[in-house]
Structure 1
Amino acid sequence: MLTFGRARRLLRITTVFISHGLDEFVANLHLFRLYAYVLRLAPWRWRQTRAPRGERLRLALEELGPIFIKFGQMLSTRPDLVPEDIVVELSRLQDRVPPFPSQQAVALIEAAYGMPLSQAFRTFDTTPVASASVAQVHFATLHDGTEVAVKVLRPGIDIILRRDLALLQTLAQLAVRYWPDARRLRPLEVVKEYEKIVHDEMDLAHEAANASQLRTNFQDSTLLYVPRVFWDYTRRSVMVMERITGVPISNREALVAHGVDLRKLAHNGVEIFFTQAFRDGFFHADMHPGNIFVSFTGQYRAVDFGIMGTLSADDKYYLAENILGFLNRDYRSIAEAHVRAGWVPKGTRVDELEGAIRTVCEPIFAKPIKDISFGRLLMNLFQTARRFNMEVQPQLVLLQKTLFNIEGLGRRLYPDLDLWITAKPFLERWMREQLGPRAVWNAVRKEYPNWIHILPEIPRYLGTTLRQAKDGELSVRAQSDEIERLAQDMRVRHRRIMIGLLGGALLAVGLGVFGVTHPGFVARYLDVIEIGVGAPGFVLLAWSVLDLGRRPQ
């Protein structure tokens, strides 16, 4: 429902958009189309110089305020929906707004703790050190002398959030009704996704949990330091973390003055990104210069963990296949990886997808290798695959946006950064670990507790299965091609399970012998039994565990 308040806010949006020359956007608001035509006749617009549309949109969103700034930032992560020129410009949106009064910050903290500020902190600096649309940060000292950063939500931000989200919903509904491209761009779904992101950022305990997980992942790292969270002082509206010191990564001159190796620093940033994405599947998705500091020894120090990305095991594997395919210019493997991952429909012709990817990528590879952008490659890949009805993969789009940030950051530090030198060895090593002996051992170690519980049941399982096979109860009558494929799948998996059970039994015997071995003459013969029985069992069990994860061909 379009209330008076929403109509007034829409009128304000229309005025701002027109003042920045965004006529093409305003024309789609329908209700204010006549108003837009009148504004176009204003004399001050006759000699108005028109900047690129992406820049004009960015300036308009900055003028409309915090929620629209964050909405623009979210849109910059969706190159599958937004044209490239607008994506690039929106990625430059800066979430900097004037601080709110310190008295309000103190009152909010005391209400959250239920005690005077002096009981919680030895000292508290009332001058904020950073201020954004959702929260601002103050420095303080705990009673034990620990220096901390206190992040507190803006007063009344819930009301502002609800108002502007409702307005965005209204805009999306108007777009669906009056905008021909609305079906393709799915504005209602985009607003819903944005609502989830903003609500996560509104819960500082959620951000604290993200920071704690990332700190655990890099506990002993010399590349990245993540500040400690003080949980006793953390609430939904207040978060207290260890105070970070260092040089802002955007201050290149200060880094040089402190003797930091910028080439190494740039490559370390790339390694940190790939380690987060492929080793942990959990990455900082807001790594712009304002959120990164550098110690005098060249160690990265991150802050602001409100937006994090995750990758599943399948995401990591298929993404690595795609990037290695790019590095080797093997477009066939890229197309096949898309089909296997289910990112494009099952019936997609691999040769056609391969040709489309080659058409997009070959002109890029005509450039010097150090000038090729991973982020742009992934963006082009998503845009190409969209022609083949590729389903949107939000986690990959967020990763691509983060990679853009890392590349831009690295090349500002060291213009000759060759990201490929760091990426290719890392990904090749990671792929070997996924397919080599270590992967076999890790898979067996992970699954062994599950197997050990069913080993005592193996004789009964075997007896039941053999009896069913003898009586013909395991047969499957195919009524269609699909059922025939299902039957084949079941037969293959049954065979793999049987081999796995046999391997598990042999391994159990070998381990059992190992457990009862005693020094002396008999032990030497038992060792022979242990190796002769346990080793083949290990091989069969490992093959079964790994093979069960594959789809039968």
Structure 2
Amino acid sequence: MVGFLAHPVAKTRRHLRRYGEIADVLAMHGFANVADQLGLPRPARRVLLGRRASGEMTLPERARVALQELGPTFIKFGQSLSTRPDMVPDEFVRELEKLQDELPPVPLEEILAVIEEELGRPADEVFEAFEAVPIAAASIGQVHRARLRGGREVVVKVRRPGIDLQIRVDTELLTDLASAAERRTTWGRRYGVSEVVEEFARSLEEQLDFVLEGRYADLFRLRLEPDSPVQIPLVHWDFTTSRVLTMDYVNGIKISHVAELEAAGHDLPRIARTLLDYVLRQALIEGLFHADPHPGNIAVREDGTLVFVDFGLVGFLDNRLRGWIGDMIIGFVVGDERVMAEALMNIGRVYDRSGQEELALEVGRLFRRYHNPSLSKPSVGEVMLGALRGVTKYGARVPGEGALFIKTLVSIEGLCLRLYPELDVPAVSKPVADLLLRERFDPARIYDMAKRNTQMAARLAAEFPERLQRLMNKAESGALRMTVDLGEVQRLQSRLDVIANRLIVGLLVSATLVASALMFRSGLGPAFFGIPILGALGFLTGFLIGARLLIAVIRSGNI
């Protein structure tokens, strides 16, 4: 109980009760040791609860069930972790992907009350029809079909009453638990769980704001070409607030309903190529992507147009990340594992490149697996996902947006291959790779980049004396702080220990040889055929120890 009381968190009654619920659920499913590591409360019934963990379920299955029982925030956190194969083992990723973000529907009266509160008038003054049964009921929002005054068919997404408070309490607790994990566990420090939770909490806060979701939908729609085979529904801003989102209703067949699409006469190979090409272009050219591409969020209209809905989860790639992922795509298309390995090292911010050649070999094995037509269809997503797992052994810390896009790409590829199993992924990816190469070597772009770099260098040169003075002032005042990687310190200490031991042994060998030489010269001690026995033993001992030391140095490769 001492560890729990030491947590720097506001101990409201709600927080304390929730901490107890988390501890009980963890213990019930056999994770009492994790609760102990985090300093959670230890009620007397914990031992009994811990014994109830099902022995028939695997560890990943128990983790999934525990998160499901803890409610919407933890379900979404588990789903978020399933996009991080660089942090989470494969068997856990596969299990966390099964988490269902579904809840029983909120009664219609409560939904209509939220609409009236947000729009400032009763729902029947805005909508001439409003379906009582929702078409979706997720953890944050509930979606109903409706018809505006004037006959426009729309869908209305309404935030669940009280869900914002529940999520904010849970994200506060997750933040404190992440901080505890970094203080108290090696795995918490290794994976930087505070940064992961902070990123998750920020994303979840955005998903609570339906105005932001509407703006994202507008952003995607404005980036479409006039003749684009993709459609984004129109947002009705007069009937949209942070808790209510009203968009056009677009009728279509879910993209996962392959038989229904075939029966309707759709060209499935064209749909598959269009979907993959659109996602690659949006991410690598425009720098944004729909980060929740499950089958319910993509439909096909009667004329074959693809419709994307639900922009609550959107990813953005900055120029550097876009460039590095673009390098991975280019490396995949041309079949160059070294290009992919270098891009991975850049994405993972790995500055020690001693393992790059080994990583290239690992990527090469993935190429051979996924480029061999007799084994499987080439998959850019699977190669990138496998390479992402491989780079973590070199201390990589992959940005969340990068890992999220790679996971999104895997999902999109899966949908495309269900539509058209013979899809040639490299062929579809090649036009995007060519576009990236042309963009990279565009003279205007090179000039702009050189201009920016020159301006940055000039600014840094002008600021250097002042920054150096501030650094020296901090050092003189004792205010200078340095972050030390303990793992590197331990490795350095081990290396210094080896050097010191070898130096001591070398000095002892030298001293033994010198003493033996003096004994030979002076003739001290007993002799055998005129050879001083002590001197001969000294020479032999020195020779054997010296030879062993030399062999050890040669084997280490540091000669």
Coarse TM-score class (shorter-chain normalised): 0.7 to 0.9
The partner residue of 2:349 within 344, 351, 356 is 344
The alpha carbon displacement at 1:170 in A equals 3.5
Residues 437-452 of structure 1 correspond to what in structure 2 (within 5 A)?
439-440=442-443
Q: 1:92 to 1:168 in 2, by over 3 A?
A: same
Task: Quote the residue 2:358 is aligned against.
Answer: 355
Return the alpha-carbon distance in structure 2 between the equivalents of residues 426 and 220 of structure 1.
Answer: 19
User: Is contact 1:26-1:36 (8 Å) kept?
Assistant: no
Q: Secondary structure at the match of 1:390?
A: coil
CA distance in 2 between counterparts of 1:21 and 1:228 reads 48
Partner amino acid for 2:297? N
Q: Does 1:84 align with 2:87?
A: no
For 2:199, give the aligned amino acid. Answer: E
1:68 to 51, 74, 78: 74
Partners of 1:346 and 1:27 lie apart in 2 by 35
Partner of residue 171, structure 1: 177
| Matching residue of 1:13 | 22
Residue among 290, 298, 303 paired with 1:297? 303
Q: Which moved more, 1:280-289 or 1:21-30?
A: 21-30
Q: CA deviation at 1:191?
A: 1.7
- 1:297 to 1:25, Cα distance in 2 relative to 1, 3 A: farther
Gap change, CA 1:128 and 1:345, over 3 Å in 2: closer
Q: Is the 8 A contact 2:140 2:208 kept in 1?
A: yes
SS in 1 for 2:92: helix
Please tell me whether the aligned partners of residues 281 and 311 of structure 1 are also in contact (alpha carbons under 8 angstroms). yes
Task: Supply the distance in 2 between the matched residues of 1:86 and 1:106 (Cα, whole angstroms).
Answer: 40
Alignment match of 2:141 (pick from 113, 135, 146): 135
Show the counterpart of 2:314: 308
1:258 aligns to 2:264 (yes or no) = yes
Q: CA deviation at 1:312?
A: 2.7
CA distance in 2, matches of 1:86, 1:100: 31
For residues 228 and 181 of structure 1, do their structure 2 counterparts lie closer, same or farther at Cα, with a shift above 3 Å needed? same
3-state SS of the aligned residue for 1:139?
strand
The answer for the alignment partner of 2:529 in structure 1 is: none
Does structure 1 retain, via aligned residues, the 8 Å contact 2:146–2:156?
Answer: yes
Cα pair 1:344 1:388 within 8 Å, conserved: no
Superposition deviation, residue 318 in structure 1: 2.6
Shift of 1:163: 1.9
The partner residue of 1:199 within 198, 205, 209 is: 205
**What residue number does 1:101 align with?**
107
Q: Which whole-Å deviations, capped at 9, do the CAs of 1:334-359 have from their partners, x for residues lacking one? A: 344456x575355534xx40332312
Give the counterpart of 2:275 among 261, 269, 272: 269
Aligned to 1:152: 158
Give how far 1:20 is off: 4.1
Structure 2: distance between partners of 1:171 and 1:96: 25
Contact preservation (8 Å) 1:357, 1:381: no
**Post-superposition CA distance 1:56-111 (Å, at most 9, x none):** 32232222211111111111222232222222322332211111111111111111
Question: Corresponding residue for 1:415?
Answer: 421
Candidates 120, 126, 132, aligned match of 2:132: 126
Q: Name the aligned partner's letter for residue 425 of structure 2.
A: L
- Change in CA separation of 1:86 and 1:374 when aligned onto 2, cut-off 3 Å: farther
Q: Hey, what's the Cα distance between the residues in 1 that align with 2:315 and 2:227?
A: 20
Question: Using a 3 Å threshold, how does the CA distance of structure 1 residues 324 and 342 change in structure 2: closer, same or farther?
Answer: closer
Instruction: Give the SS at the match of 2:110.
Output: helix
- Most deviating of 126-135 and 29-38: 29-38
Residue 280 (structure 1) shift: 1.3
Instruction: Give me the whole-angstrom Cα distance separating, in 2, the residues matched to 1:298 and 1:53.
Output: 44
Superposition deviation, residue 177 in structure 1: 4.0
Q: Which runs of 5 or more residues in structure 1 are unaligned?
A: 451-475, 480-553
Contact kept, 8 Å, 2:359 with 2:390, in 1: the verdict is yes
Tell me the secondary structure at the aligned position of residue 210 of structure 1.
helix
The aligned residue for residue 161 of structure 1 is 167
SS at match of 1:286: coil
Deviation, 1:316, is: 2.6
1:220 paired to 2:226: yes
Contact 1:263 / 1:417 at 8 angstroms: preserved in 2? yes
Q: Quick one: distance in 1 between partners of 2:351 and 2:186?
A: 29
Distance (Å, rounded) in 2 between the aligned partners of 1:195 and 1:287: 20
Give the match's secondary structure for 1:77: coil
Matched residues in 1 for 2:210 and 2:87: separation?
29
Could you report, residue by residue, the CA deviation over 1:118-173 in whole angstroms, capped at 9, with x for unpaired residues? 32222222322211111111112122211111111111122111221222234324
Work out whether residues 333 and 433 of structure 2, in 8 Å CA contact, stay in contact via their aligned partners in 1: no
User: Contact 2:26/2:66 (CA < 8 Å) preserved in 1?
Assistant: yes
Gap change, CA 1:65 and 1:40, over 3 Å in 2: closer
> Could you tell me how far apart the structure 2 residues matched to 1:391 and 1:366 are?
26
| TM-score under structure 2 length normalisation | 0.72
1:344–1:385 CA contact under 8 A, matched in 2: no
State whether residues 11 and 32 of structure 1, in contact with CA within 8 Å, keep that contact through their aligned partners in structure 2.
Answer: yes
- Post-superposition shift, 1:221? 4.1
Distance 1:389 1:295, change over 3 A: same
Out of 42, 45, 48, the position equivalent to 1:38 is 48
Gaps of 5+ in 2: 1-8, 452-461, 466-559
Q: Distance in 1 between matches of 2:48 and 2:180?
A: 21
Deviations along 1:484-511, whole A, 9 cap, x unmatched?
xxxxxxxxxxxxxxxxxxxxxxxxxxxx
Change (3 A) 1:70 1:315: same
Contact 1:249 1:294 in 2 (8 A): yes
Structure-2 separation of matches of 1:315 and 1:6: 38
Aligned-residue RMSD, C-alpha: 3.0
Question: What is the letter of the counterpart of residue 428 of structure 1?
Answer: D
Q: Count matched residues.
A: 441
Show the counterpart of 2:119. 113
C-alpha displacement at 1:18, in angstroms?
A: 4.4
Question: Aligned pair in 2 of structure 1 residues 251, 59: CA closer, same or farther (>3 Å)?
Answer: farther
Tell me which of 176, 180, 190 is aligned to 1:184. Answer: 190
Deviates more, 1:64-73 or 1:201-210: 64-73
Q: Find the residue that maps to 1:136 and give its secondary structure.
A: strand
Q: CA deviation at 1:14?
A: 3.7
The range that moved more, 249-258 or 322-331, is 322-331
Say whether the 8 Å CA contact 2:332–2:426 is kept in structure 1. no
